[in-house]
């Protein structure tokens, strides 16, 4: 299987903290790859580097065999890489439908940008997309009036509206009430499978990872310390100690 | 055309008719109304920028640029239908050059760079005294309309008519623009500019397009002002003139293309009546009006009118 | 409209009533503008002056003089039995607003005559309007010489001089008082008057005394408050003469900062507008400074035509406003006197009938009328011929501020650009013996 | 270039002296505006009016002190007292108005200050009249200092040479100390840097806002008070002062007092060099400096680039 995205030797340090310290990572076409790791390990940095928001100090990234390092986020999006955000980046003064429609319209050319945003084609596609995410009932609401779960889904829907071949998701379920979490994951799994999109997601919740991922990469101290199918990785004692264990303790602290 | 668009079109035409009627009934107001419409057109451009959350404290630059372009060209080319595109072109071209620079900045930096550039232009008008006559200004000759020389009275009417047509045209255009992805991207910029970039939309270019359009509209406003007062001075470019445009935008309300015109009428009429009532405290009256609008009706005159319209059916039901 | 109110319950009543009021006042405002030959019940005078911004330094004294003189005219029964009423408008907001105000004065207030304005830009903008709207207009204080040199107007005349004689008089005075000066520096405000007055001075100086070196040309921002850098530069340059046509706050600050740093000891100052600052700056302004007041205006004029008139005006003004009158009050008085004389002339020409606007406007052409200090004649081109008084400051015990000595009253006809010529061209034709022919200076008599 | 400097060494020396005193005057007006901007994120257009009213009040109080025959040195505390008074009387009500509109769009807050500017402009006229007001007792009391200039001497006023730069330095040092070493100062810095984080830490933002605004207003008034001995106060002086301060704030970077100091210095020196060597450029110097600085550092001289967390 060829790599859709290939990262080689990525290095990036903020002051003394090495967020990436020689990372090699391949994303295979069609897979759902989870990146797990302790907080502050640099997982989000990876997404930021791939999408052009941060520039690594060394290394290379190729998408479909084409180097994309140094391109602006905008160019990278146009090549077919979209992302969602840990803190959903919605246009808060717009309705959910407008958000989605704007994302749909953003694929268009300049002249289509002069047509009304809410004309037939944009709206039809945006509505259909929101429907797939189960957000139809909320389409008319302003984006700042949604609960966290719906905001997360809308955020991802907007990324998907760009028809990417690679979707990067930064903690798609963080901040969502535990009771809603699995429902969101089910929606996501279904929608992404239907769309046939390759997806990379950073996640802390091992249940989500287990349900969602085809492969898991463990990001620890700026390196990929383990990579493999969820069954293997999540059972690895070292991973449990370094990553999952910490999560458990954090959870215990929060509970106490 | 949607029902709402039709309704707005009817309202706009009715407003135009009212303006003409008032100008016919009260001759001296024709001048004030023409100036108000000219400023309204300029404020339409401010409205676009406000949508993106950016406040330019220097758009008087484009009003003045076009007004001076008209004043310089008028002796050789005294034709309204040529002066208007000329002013729009000059302002638009300078807007493009300046825009390429200022759209990289946001908020205070955006506002202050615009202010700085307009003040530089203001100084240039003073410094090149031999050409511009400084604060004395330049007088425009009588302007022809479609090649016809008109008497002062008819010229006044013609300018008002041109102003109204331009206002209707730009109003309709801005309404369409704001509802298009380009326009929606402006307000999207205000809330989440980074997201736009991650959607492949070049935020700076979205702002640049709006900026150039706003310069063009300010330019058209400037030419109308020049043709109406027939005397241009550097005061057109002073920073308080830019502040006035923002003032009008907020007074009218940024929620609709009607806002700028409501604001401009409100502003000019308040100023005129305040000046007539208390010649040496009109500023204070304007200030108090503005403060009142911000504190009690932050949606501006448009927002006030709309909520009054919304409330009315209920009121009638009760009565 | 009242009928609507009946149907409207609650809050609507108020709204409808307000609406009715609004329309009512608009309609009232638009009443006929065709007031003509019938004698009016009162004579309304629109007066444009600065009531806001830095130029209110002149605008407010102008208004005060108008209020006082209008009261005096009314106390004497008005003009031909008609009481006069001033309607003031503020020039502060700028030309585009002022043009609207001018129209309002004519078309809504339906004034009989307009006094306009302090700002040259306002005068340039409104003179064509005067002809367009056919309303007699007296240019009462603006300085630019361009108005009647560039065009002719039927309805507008100027009841005072203009920049050319005002600046030329000061130059002639310097050429006589300090004939061998070799260098000059200028510190003028950066706006039309500052630039124009320097152009006039420079052109005339190059004709009358070629070869004077211009050591520095400063045009600080209009409204500048800090001149310390300019003062330092001038202290280092030591020009023989320093010219400044600044006025108001700018001039006051410049005088104080120069005095404190002894610049007055190094150079001879020429300040053609300083008469209006004398009382404020007081004896900070040293003796030996050449001062003018845009005309032959000063309460201590050496030879007023009607000494009682000047004394009475000065005294009444001081009593009412507790300050000395300055040149804008004189200019306002000239406009008021011109209005009175113009009406009387027009009424006489009509054998006692009330004149139309056109007849009144015609009466102003060639009119001679008294000023507080002399007589002013309006030339056929509409320009007023006003004498110019220039003097040198001296300190006395009688006043807490400098007074003028070695006063020269220049005859207007000698120093005003002839009809049909442009100032800058005419100044190039002056003959070098001109300073020698000026009247003898008159010393101060306490 | 070195040749030119050698030829003009003496003049350059004078230009620096002039530039320093001008810079001090600019700094005194701009620093309060910058402080307020840092905390409230509002460009206070009424700052110019506070400057003017400060100047008028100082002149009025000073003239009163002199007319009563009180000891001359009292005029200096009078300048300070007038400024504090103006800050205390006008600062809190304006701040209240601004806080009322806090939830609205930023442009509305800006317009609130524009409205206040218009109101205060006329109020000032009603209170103090239109005739230029000067109170030059402090200037005269301190006399002049002769600076050698080749064979010549150039008198400078001691006020310009020592008092203005001195007070500016004391203000700068005092503010720096206050902001770094005191609790309230640190609260102000915290709110300036990150309002949300400061709130989350339990800082009473309302209190900080009130304190900052009052202090900023007093500083504006002090700027006016310090100018009153040399400058003429006339209607409209506020409008002209405020644009210059705007340029300083944008050039300096958000709320950075050191930035305001350096920018004032740049503008002061730039202006005096312009007057010496290219007078026609004088008026546009501040704007040219601003454009140049922002071209190189888009966040202002001392501003920290805002990295948005996404």
pLDDT band with cut points at 50, 70 and 90 for residue A250: very low
Contact D191, D35 (CB under 8 A): no
Q: Tell me which of B75, B122, B135 to substitute to probe the interface with C (most C C-beta atoms closer than 10 Å).
A: B135
Confidence (pLDDT) at A197: 92
By CA distance, what is A89's nearest residue in D?
A: D310
Q: Are both C42-161+306-382 and C164-293+387-437 of the same fold?
A: yes
Closest chain D residue to the Cα of C247, Cα to Cα: D132
How many residues comprise chain D? Answer: 310
Chain segment A25-52, per-residue pLDDT in tens: 999 999 999 998 887 777 888 999 999 9
Window 81-110 of D, Cβ < 8 Å to C: none
Q: How much is the pLDDT for C183?
A: 96
Over residues C317-332, mean pLDDT? 96
Contact D247 B116 (CB under 8 A): yes
Q: Per residue, what are the HEC states of C231-264? A: HHHHHHHCCCEEECCCCHHHHHHHHHHHHHCCHH
Burial class of residue C306 in the structure, from the number of CB atoms within 10 Å of its CB (0-12 exposed, 13-18 middle, 19+ buried): middle
Return the ∠ at Cα D175 (arms to D169 and D177), rounded to 5°. Answer: 100
- Contact present, C117 and C48 (Cβ < 8 Å): yes
Q: What is the pLDDT of residues B113-145, one digit of tens each?
A: 999 899 999 989 988 888 888 888 999 998 999
SS3 (DSSP) at C139: strand
Judge: C103–B28 Cβ closer than 8 Å, yes or no: yes
What is the fold of B3-318?
Answer: ABC transporter involved in vitamin B12 uptake, BtuC (1.10.3470)
Q: What is the spatial distance between Cα B211 and Cα B98, in angstroms, rounded to a whole number?
A: 9
**Chain-centre distance for alpha carbon C67:** 16
Residue B52 is given by DSSP the state T
Query: Domain C42-161+306-382: what homologous superfamily?
Result: Response regulator (3.40.50.2300)
Checking if the pLDDT of D307 tops 90, the result is no
Pairwise CA distance, residues B55 & B47, whole Å: 9
pLDDT band at C10 (very low <50, low <70, confident <90, very high): very low
The count of domains in chain D is: 1
The crossing angle, in degrees rounded to 10, of helices A120-132 and A96-105 is: 120
pLDDT digits (tens, 9 = 90+) for C378-410: 999 999 999 999 999 999 999 999 999 999 999
- Give, to the nearest 10 degrees, the angle between helix B107-127 and helix B60-73: 30
Determine whether the interchain pair C252/D160 forms a contact, defined as Cβ–Cβ distance below 8 Å.
Answer: no
Q: How far apart are CA A77 and CA A81, in angstroms?
A: 5
Burial C11-44, CB ≥16 within 10 A → b, else e: ebeeebeeeeeeeeebeebbeebeeeeeeeeebb
Q: Which of C28-37, C235-244, D3-12 has the highest mean pLDDT?
A: C235-244
Q: Count Cβ–Cβ pairs < 8 Å, chain A vs chain D.
A: 7
Mean predicted confidence (pLDDT) in D136-153: 87
- Per residue in C281-307, pLDDT (tens digit) is 999 999 999 999 999 999 999 999 999
Q: Which chain D positions have a beta carbon within 8 Å of A87's beta carbon?
A: 309-310
Residue of D nearest to A170 (CA): D310
C164-293+387-437, CATH topology level: Rossmann fold (3.40.50)
Q: Which two tokens stand for residue D289?
A: 């400096």
B 83-122 near C (Cβ less than 8 A): none
Burial of C258 (0-12, 13-18, 19+ CB in 10 A): buried
Nearest-CB residue to B298 (from D108, D117, D254): D108
Cα–Cα distance for residue pair C39/C81, rounded to 1 Å: 10
What are the pLDDT tens digits along chain B (319 aa)?
A: 678 889 989 999 999 999 999 999 988 899 999 999 999 999 999 999 999 999 999 999 999 999 999 999 999 999 999 999 999 999 999 999 999 999 999 888 898 899 989 999 998 998 888 888 888 899 999 899 998 988 888 999 999 999 999 999 999 999 999 988 888 899 899 888 889 989 988 899 999 999 999 999 999 999 999 999 999 999 999 988 999 999 999 899 888 899 999 999 999 999 888 888 887 788 899 999 989 988 888 888 888 888 777 765 443 333 3
Nearest to B302, CA basis, from B242, B246, B249? B249
Cβ–Cβ contact D214 with C under 8 A: no
Residue C374: alpha-carbon gap to chain centroid: 16
Partners of B230 on chain C (C-beta within 8 Å) are 99, 125, 128
Partners of residue D215 on adjacent β-strands: none
Query: Distance between CA B298 and CA B295 in Å, rounded?
Result: 6
A3-90+154-255: which CATH architecture?
3-Layer(aba) Sandwich (3.40)
Spell out a b/e string for C190-221, using b for 16 or more CB atoms within 10 Å of the CB, else e.
bbbbbbbbbbbbbbbbebbbeebeebbebbbb
Q: Which CATH number characterizes residue D170's domain? A: 1.10.3470
pLDDT of res. C371: 95
pTM: 0.89
- Integer Cα distance of B258 and B264 in angstroms: 10
State which residue of chain A sits closest to D308, comparing Cα positions. Answer: A53
Please, which pLDDT band fits residue A153 given cuts at 50, 70 and 90? very high
Instruction: Give the sign of the dihedral formed by CA B131, CA B135, CA B136, CA B140.
Output: positive
ipTM of the complex: 0.87
Identify whether D189 is part of a domain.
Answer: yes
Q: Which of C413, C444, C420, C408 is nearest to C171 (CA)?
A: C408
Tell me the per-residue pLDDT of C153-176, one tens digit each, with 9 for 90 and over. Answer: 999 999 999 999 999 999 999 999
| A58-63/A66-67 β-pairing | antiparallel
Query: Is A59:A11 a contact under the CB 8 Å cutoff?
Result: yes
Q: Is D71 on the interface with C (CB under 8 A)?
A: no
Q: Where are the domains of chain C?
A: 42-161+306-382, 164-293+387-437
**Distance of alpha carbon D185 from alpha carbon D178, whole angstroms:** 5
Residue D304 falls inside a structural domain? no
**Cα–Cα distance for residue pair A53/A51, rounded to 1 Å:** 6
Distance of CA D103 to the CA centre of its chain: 28
Chains C and D touch (3+ CB pairs under 8 A): yes
Averaged pLDDT, D305-310: 59
Please spell the DSSP secondary structure of B277-288, one letter per residue.
Answer: H-TTSHHHHHHH
In chain C, what are the helix, strand and coil shares in percent, each to the nearest 5? Answer: 45, 15, 40
Buried (b) or exposed (e) across A129-162, using 16+ Cβ within 10 A?
bbebbbbeebbeebbeebebbbbbbbbbbbbbbb
Q: Smallest Cα–Cα separation from C173: which of C147, C213, C201?
A: C201
Q: Is the pLDDT of residue A61 over 90?
A: yes
For residue D102, the model assigns a pLDDT of 80
- pLDDT band for position D256 (50/70/90)? confident
Neighbors of chain C with 3 or more C-beta pairs under 8 Å? B, D
CA C164, CA C295: separation in Å to the nearest integer? 11
User: Which residues constitute the domain of residue D64?
Assistant: 13-296
């Amino acid at each position: 299987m060829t790599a859709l995205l290939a990262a080689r030797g990525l290095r990036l340090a903020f002051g003394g903290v090495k967020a990436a310290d020689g990372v090699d990572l391949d994303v295979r076409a069609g897979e759902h790859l989870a990146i797990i790791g302790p907080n502050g390990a640099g997982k989000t940095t990876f997404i930021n580097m791939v999408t052009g928001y941060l520039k690594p100090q060394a290394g290379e990234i190729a998408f479909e065999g084409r180097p994309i390092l140094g391109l602006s986020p905008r160019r990278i999006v146009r090549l077919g890489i979209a992302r969602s955000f840990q803190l959903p980046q919605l246009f808060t003064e717009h309705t959910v439908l407008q958000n989605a429609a704007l994302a749909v319209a953003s694929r268009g050319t300049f002249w289509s940008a002069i047509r009304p945003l809410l004309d037939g084609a944009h709206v039809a596609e945006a509505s259909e997309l929101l429907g797939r995410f189960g957000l139809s009932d909320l389409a008319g609401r302003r984006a700042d009036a949604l609960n966290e779960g719906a905001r997360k889904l809308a955020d991802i829907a907007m990324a998907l509206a760009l028809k990417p071949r690679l979707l990067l998701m930064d903690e798609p379920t963080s901040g969502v009430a535990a009771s809603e979490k699995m429902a969101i994951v089910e929606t996501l799994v279904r929608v992404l499978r239907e769309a046939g999109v390759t997806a990379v997601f950073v996640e802390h919740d091992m249940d989500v990872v287990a349900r969602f991922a085809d492969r898991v990469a463990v990001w620890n101290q700026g390196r990929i310390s383990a990579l493999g199918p969820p069954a293997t990785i999540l059972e690895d004692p070292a991973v449990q100690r370094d990553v999952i264990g910490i999560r458990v303790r954090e959870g215990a602290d929060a509970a106490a | 055309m949607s029902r709402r668009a039709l309704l707005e079109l009817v309202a706009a035409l009715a407003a135009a008719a009212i303006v003409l009627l008032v100008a016919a009934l009260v001759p001296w107001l024709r001048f004030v109304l023409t100036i108000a419409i000219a400023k309204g057109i300029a404020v339409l451009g401010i409205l676009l920028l406000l949508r993106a959350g950016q406040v330019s404290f220097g758009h008087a630059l484009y009003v003045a640029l076009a007004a001076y372009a008209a004043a310089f060209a008028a002796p050789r080319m005294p034709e309204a239908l040529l002066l208007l595109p000329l002013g729009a072109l000059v302002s638009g071209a300078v807007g493009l050059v300046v825009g390429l620079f200022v759209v990289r900045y946001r908020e205070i930096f955006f506002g202050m760079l615009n202010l700085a550039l307009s003040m530089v232009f203001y100084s240039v008008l003073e410094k090149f005294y031999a050409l511009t006559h400084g604060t004395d200004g330049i007088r425009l000759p009588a302007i022809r309309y479609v090649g016809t020389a008109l008497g002062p009275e008819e010229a006044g009417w013609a300018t008002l008519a041109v102003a109204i047509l331009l206002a209707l045209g730009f109003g309709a255009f801005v309404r369409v623009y704001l509802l298009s992805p380009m326009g929606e991207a402006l307000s999207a910029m205000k809330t989440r500019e980074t997201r736009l970039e991650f959607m492949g939309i070049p935020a700076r270019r979205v702002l640049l397009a709006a900026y150039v359009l706003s310069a063009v509209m300010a330019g058209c406003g400037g030419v109308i002002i020049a043709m109406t007062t027939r005397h241009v001075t550097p005061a057109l470019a002073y920073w308080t003139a830019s502040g006035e445009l923002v003032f009008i935008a907020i007074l009218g309300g940024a929620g609709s293309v009607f806002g700028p015109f409501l604001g401009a009428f409100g502003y000019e009429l308040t100023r005129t009546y305040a000046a007539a009532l208390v010649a040496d405290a009109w500023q204070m009256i304007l200030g108090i009006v503005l403060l009142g609008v911000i504190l009690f009706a932050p949606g501006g005159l448009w927002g006030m009118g709309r909520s009054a319209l919304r409330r009315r059916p209920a009121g009638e039901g009760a009565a | 409209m009242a009928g609507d109110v009946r149907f409207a319950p609650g809050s609507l009543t108020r709204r409808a009533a307000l609406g009715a009021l609004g329309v009512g006042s608009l309609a009232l405002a638009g009443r006929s503008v065709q007031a003509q030959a019938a004698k009016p019940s009162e004579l309304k005078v629109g007066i444009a002056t600065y009531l806001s911004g830095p130029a209110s330094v002149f605008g407010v004294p102008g208004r005060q003089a108008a209020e006082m003189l209008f009261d005096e005219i009314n106390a004497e029964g008005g003009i031909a039995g008609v009481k006069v009423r001033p309607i003031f408008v503020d020039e502060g907001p700028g030309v585009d607003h002022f043009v609207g105000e001018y129209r309002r004065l004519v078309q809504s207030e339906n004034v009989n005559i307009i006094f306009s304005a302090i700002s040259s830009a306002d005068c340039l903008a409104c003179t064509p309007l005067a002809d367009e709207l056919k309303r007699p207009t007296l240019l009462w204080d603006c300085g630019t010489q361009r108005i009647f040199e560039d065009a002719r107007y039927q309805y507008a005349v100027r009841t005072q001089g203009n920049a050319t004689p005002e600046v030329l008089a000061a130059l002639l005075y310097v050429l006589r008082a300090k004939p061998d000066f070799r260098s000059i520096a200028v510190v003028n405000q950066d706006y039309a008057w500052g630039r124009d007055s320097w152009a006039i001075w420079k052109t005339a100086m190059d004709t009358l005394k070629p070869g004077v070196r211009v050591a520095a040309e400063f045009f600080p921002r209009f409204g500048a408050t800090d001149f310390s850098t300019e003062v330092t530069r001038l202290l280092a340059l030591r020009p023989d003469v320093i010219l400044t046509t600044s006025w108001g706050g700018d001039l006051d600050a410049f005088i104080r900062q120069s005095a404190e740093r002894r610049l007055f000891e190094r150079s001879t100052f020429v300040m053609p507008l300083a008469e209006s600052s004398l009382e404020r700056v007081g004896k900070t302004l040293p003796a030996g400074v050449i001062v003018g007041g845009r005309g032959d205006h000063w309460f201590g004029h050496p030879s007023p035509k009607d000494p009682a008139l000047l004394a009475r005006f000065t005294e009444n003004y001081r009593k009412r406003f507790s300050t000395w009158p300055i040149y804008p009050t004189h200019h306002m008085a000239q406009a008021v006197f011109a209005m009175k004389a113009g009406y009387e002339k027009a009424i006489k020409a009509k054998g006692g009938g009330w004149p139309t606007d056109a007849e009144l406007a015609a009466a102003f052409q060639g009119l001679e009328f008294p000023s507080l200090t002399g007589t002013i004649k309006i030339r056929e081109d509409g320009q007023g011929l006003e004498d110019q008084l220039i003097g040198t400051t001296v300190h006395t015990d009688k006043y807490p501020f400098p007074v003028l000595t070695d006063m020269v009253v220049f005859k207007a006809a000698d120093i005003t650009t002839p009809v049909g010529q442009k100032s800058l061209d005419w100044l190039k034709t002056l003959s070098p013996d001109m300073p020698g022919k000026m009247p003898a200076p008159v010393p101060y008599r306490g | 270039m070195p040749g030119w400097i050698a030829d003009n060494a003496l003049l350059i020396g004078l230009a620096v002296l002039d530039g320093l005193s001008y810079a001090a005057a600019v700094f005194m007006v701009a620093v309060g505006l910058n402080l307020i901007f840092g905390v409230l994120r509002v460009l206070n257009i009424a700052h110019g009016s506070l400057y003017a009213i400060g100047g008028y009040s100082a002149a009025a109080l000073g003239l009163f002190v002199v007319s009563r025959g009180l000891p001359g040195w009292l005029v200096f505390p009078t300048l300070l007292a007038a400024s504090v008074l103006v800050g205390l009387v006008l600062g809190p009500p304006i701040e209240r108005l601004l806080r009322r509109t806090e939830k609205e769009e930023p442009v509305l807050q800006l317009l609130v200050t524009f409205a206040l500017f218009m109101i205060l402009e006329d109020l000032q006229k009603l209170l103090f009249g239109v005739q230029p007001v000067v109170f030059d007792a402090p200037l005269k009391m301190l006399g002049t200092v002769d600076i050698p200039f080749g064979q010549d001497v150039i008198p400078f006023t001691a006020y310009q040479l020592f008092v203005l730069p001195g007070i500016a330095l004391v203000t700068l040092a005092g503010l720096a100390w206050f902001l770094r070493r005191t609790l309230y100062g640190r609260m102000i810095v915290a709110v300036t840097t990150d309002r949300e984080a400061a709130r989350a830490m339990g800082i009473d933002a309302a209190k900080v806002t009130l304190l900052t605004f009052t202090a900023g207003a007093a500083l504006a008034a002090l700027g006016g008070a310090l100018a009153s001995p040399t400058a003429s106060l006339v209607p409209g002086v506020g409008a002209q002062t405020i644009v210059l301060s705007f340029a300083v704030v944008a050039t300096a970077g958000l709320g950075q007092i050191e930035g305001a100091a350096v920018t004032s210095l740049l503008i002061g020196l730039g202006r005096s060099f312009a007057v010496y060597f290219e007078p026609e450029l004088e008026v546009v110097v501040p704007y040219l400096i601003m454009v140049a600085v922002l071209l190189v550092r888009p966040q202002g001289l001392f501003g920290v680039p805002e990295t948005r967390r996404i």
